[in-house]
Amino acid sequence: MNLFDVYPLYNVTPTKANGMYIYDDKNEKFLDLYGGHAVISIGHGNPYYIKKLTEQMKKISFYSNAIQNPLQKELAKKLTQYSKCEDYNLFMCSSGAEAIENALKLASFYNKKSRVIAFKNSFHGRTSAAVAVTDNPKIISPLNAQQKVSFIKFNNIYELEFELKKGDVSSIIFESIQGVGGLDQPEEKFIKEMCLLSKKYNVCVIADEVQSGFGRSGDFFAFQKFNIKPDIITIAKGMGNGFPVGGILVNHKIKAEYGMLGTTYGGNHLACVATLAVLNELKENKLQENALKIGEYFKSKLEKIKEIIKIKGRGLMLGIEFDFNVSELRKNLIYKQKIFTGGSSNKNLIRILPPLIINKNQVDVFLKSLIIELKNEKLYNS
Ligand SMILES: Cc1ncc(COP(=O)(O)O)c(C=O)c1O
């Protein structure tokens, strides 16, 4: 059997990792500015995380959601403390897309409507409704296209109200900092007005924090910059530092009923312990504060590089835009400079999603390497 060939792969085979670094099968050391797609939050091989997971594995790793699991309750309590999101309940699942599916489904159960408003350049996952609310026709199959979705532009409140007035909209889903789409952010005024309109038209607002959550933006959740209270918040990625875990925070106004949502793996003992360990390390090592501080430092240094036409995002979720396709530049950063970076649907943009433990020296190493590689800029433009 061969692998179903859906991923274009870089020719690197990581065999171990520690902190900000990944080592390949030839023991070459790579600086990780990608975090395996924003997943590694507290760093590779964090000793506390390993200790807690190992201890839990020796006790019990998994049982179904048909039994009491006090770890889920402990996690819900700690999440309230750390995120300061009061008036929410927690439902756990195992990935970002699953969190999105549950959020959209719950909104539809709540207001008995079915159309979704999503935004241009959005990315919310690959499964049924999640991919339907993703603005990329190439990854939407005819099966997924059956969902009723309207894509509108950020910051156009008239277009939004025009759609809401039709009366069939169940939810509005948005990213406070677009990830895969290229790091664009909506204006605060628009998001605030969107929330007011959602109440007027009985529509649920879903904040997708799968990529931007758990401290990455410098706030616990990126939407908190707008001072709003979404009806549902989706979480995953950095939540587990590599352990597959996701979830939704559901506002108290949406009431649970038995059987409404469910999962075999979601909220298992290991998933809870992984997330609790992440929260502990975020706090102990002040990683959210570090994301803010290093993000500002990073931006201030990038501003001095003349080849860069735009710097987007905030905290440790940054986009560096050029006036040429960056795929060769990113290859050179990996193979010559030994630095992992991310891409996006904007082909001219490098995405920076490092573990939140990154320090100024590591930023400087990247900047030095970038400047060396940009000397070949003519090569990229040709
Ligand atoms: C904002 C956002 N939402 C949802 C998802 C889907 O998450 P997963 O890949 O865990 O299904 C992603 C993944 O990149 C994402 O960036």
Please tell me the distance between residue 173's alpha carbon and the centre of ligand 1 in angstroms: 13
Which secondary-structure segment (H or E) carries 283?
helix 269-284
With H, G, I as helix, E, B as strand and everything else as coil, classify residue 297.
Answer: helix
Could you state, in order of their start, the residue ranges of all structural domains in the chain? 14-46+306-381, 47-284
- Averaged pLDDT score across all residues of the chain: 97
d(CA 10, CA 4): 16
% of the chain with per-residue pLDDT over 90: 98
- Predicted pLDDT at 382: 53
- pTM of the predicted protein model: 0.97
Average pLDDT (319-335) is: 96
Q: Which amino acid is at 164?
A: L
Alpha helix locations (H) across 67-224?
70-83, 96-111, 128-132, 157-164, 188-200
Q: Which amino acid is at 267?
A: G
Which secondary-structure segment (H or E) carries 365?
helix 360-374
d(CA 81, CA 90): 13
Q: Which amino acid is at 373?
A: E
Ligand 1 pocket check: which of 95, 102, 123 to mutate, most ligand atoms within 8 Å of Cβ?
Answer: 123
Please tell me the distance between residue 210's alpha carbon and the centre of ligand 1 in angstroms: 6
Hey, what CATH class is 47-284 in? alpha beta
Using alpha carbons, select from 358, 337, 382 the residue that is nearest to residue 295: 358
Per-residue pLDDT of 1-27, as tens digits, reads 999 999 999 999 999 999 999 999 999
Ligand 1 shell residues, CB under 6 Å:
37, 95-97, 100, 123-125, 175, 179-180, 208, 210-211, 236
377 confidence band (pLDDT: 50, 70, 90): low
Ligand 1 pocket check: which of 7, 37, 126, 211 to mutate, most ligand atoms within 8 Å of Cβ?
Answer: 211
Please tell me the distance between residue 26's alpha carbon and the centre of ligand 1 in angstroms: 31
Per-residue pLDDT of 75-115, as tens digits, reads 999 999 999 999 999 999 999 999 999 999 999 999 999 99
Query: What's the CATH superfamily of 14-46+306-381?
Result: Aspartate Aminotransferase, domain 1 (3.90.1150.10)
Please tell me the distance between residue 168's alpha carbon and the centre of ligand 1 in angstroms: 26
Q: Are 297 and 322 in contact (CB under 8 A)?
A: no
With H, G, I as helix, E, B as strand and everything else as coil, classify residue 288.
Answer: helix
- Predicted pLDDT at 380: 63
With H, G, I as helix, E, B as strand and everything else as coil, classify residue 90.
Answer: strand
**For ligand 1, atom 3, which residue shows the shortest CA distance?**
124
The pair of three-digit structure tokens given for residue 360, joined into one six-digit string: 């100024």
Please tell me the distance between residue 373's alpha carbon and the centre of ligand 1 in angstroms: 30
Burial (CB < 10 A; 0-12, 13-18, 19+), residue 239, is buried
- Residue 249, beta-bridge partner list: 90, 233
Per-residue pLDDT of 339-364, as tens digits, reads 999 999 999 999 999 999 999 999 99
Average pLDDT (228-252) is: 98
